[in-house]
């Protein structure tokens, strides 16, 4: 099985918010690939870490687990985690597993 790569692009929206645009498929292999960078960004952000999922085409339970771990890390660091522009297929998994009850989410 071939895993599609995932890309991560960061931008500072203002002095307190870091935006991270993810693109590709979020699965066991790609989630592990980006977790360290997301953790580093959460530690460096003052108020909010915004994950833009507009270009995430697939998300399995590994991606969901990553979001929940990041939520816990953000809470510990006093940072708000927000998932936005969640597309149809990833949204189904996120809603089915109740992530939208724990983490702030906005759907496309």
- The pLDDT tens digits for 60-89 are 999 999 999 999 999 999 999 999 999 999
Nearest to 90 by CA among 105, 79, 80: 105
Q: How high is the mean pLDDT of the chain?
A: 94
CB 89 within 8 A of CB 58: yes
Exposure on the CB side of residue 63, measured as CA atoms within 13 A? 24
Who has greater pLDDT, 45 or 1? 45
pLDDT category of residue 17 using cuts at 50, 70 and 90: very high
pLDDT at 82: 98
**What is the spatial distance between Cα 2 and Cα 81, in angstroms, rounded to a whole number?**
30
In this prediction, residue 2 carries a pLDDT of 54
Write the secondary structure of 64-79 as one string of H (helix), E (strand) and C (coil).
HHHHHHHHHHHHHHCC
Which residue, chain included where needed, has tokens 């918010």? 17
pLDDT at 3 over 90: no
The pTM is what?
0.92
Give the pLDDT score at 5.
86
* β pairing state of 48-59 and 80-86: parallel
- Given a cut of 90, whether residue 4 has pLDDT beyond it is no
């Amino acid at each position: 099985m071939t895993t599609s790569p995932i890309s991560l692009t960061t931008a500072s929206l203002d002095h307190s918010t870091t935006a991270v645009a993810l693109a590709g498929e979020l699965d066991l292999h790609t989630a592990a690939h980006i977790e360290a960078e997301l953790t580093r960004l959460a530690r460096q952000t003052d108020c909010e870490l915004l994950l833009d999922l507009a270009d995430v085409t697939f998300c399995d339970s590994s991606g969901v687990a990553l979001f929940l771990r990041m939520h816990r890390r953000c809470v510990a660091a006093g940072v708000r985690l927000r998932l936005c522009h969640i597309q149809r297929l990833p949204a189904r998994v996120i809603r089915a597993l109740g992530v939208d009850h724990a983490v702030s989410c906005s759907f496309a």
